Structure 1
Amino acid sequence: MKRNKIFVSGYAKLPGGITATEVYTEIAMTAVLDRVTGEIYEIECTLVTNTAREYIKKLLAGRNINDIDDMVKDIADNYFGIAKKAIIASLTNCYERYILITKSGNEDK
């Protein structure tokens, strides 16, 4: 049975020389989305500090994954941590996964 809430994840390589690479080599972003509308119910990422994780969560939760360009711009304009590019890449990966699942009917990939 297909449910209205779906789970997607995206990954990106972290830049070297930051604290996060001592713990992780990649950043993971996970989201619970509305299958039909793309609304983001929950989202989190594997940044090291709680402040960074909460900032990204508050920036993106409640928005719509289909507004990827606006969310990427918001991150680019307001997040100045070294992992910015990895955050954008992992979010974009989540979006691409959502499109693959919902638009192509390829829900098993």
Structure 2
Amino acid sequence: MSKPNIIQLSEFDITQKIIESLSNVCTRAVLFSVKNESKDATQIAEELKISLSTVYKTLSNLEDLALAEVDKFIISPEGKKIKQYRSRIGKVEITVDNLEPSLNLYPNTDNPKSSL
């Protein structure tokens, strides 16, 4: 199954899931940690001073929501394949009008592969 893009996601109205996810400070920190450059989970955990398991769980959720993606793979000195993640979004706007939320996602212009 191919990864959904933002347009396909909006067809299934997951606005609420994205808003709930982005309301979490840890999720936002992880997402915007990888906005300007690709990083692996260990780098993110060390930079943000949060557990590696939390970073993996957060990245998985962000991938499911098509907000982050694996940008590239690197090979460690031990020969292990390591995923490097990158944010697909550069800016988020959430507004509420008549108790109805509206979500605007803007592509990460620092990520040439990202198209929303």
Assess same fold via TM > 0.5. no
Whichever structure has more helix as a proportion of its residues is: 1
Normalising by structure 2, what TM-score? 0.27
Larger radius of gyration, structure 1 or 2? Answer: 2
Whichever structure has more strand as a proportion of its residues is: 2
Structure with more contact order per residue of length (Cα contacts < 8 Å, sep ≥ 6) = 1
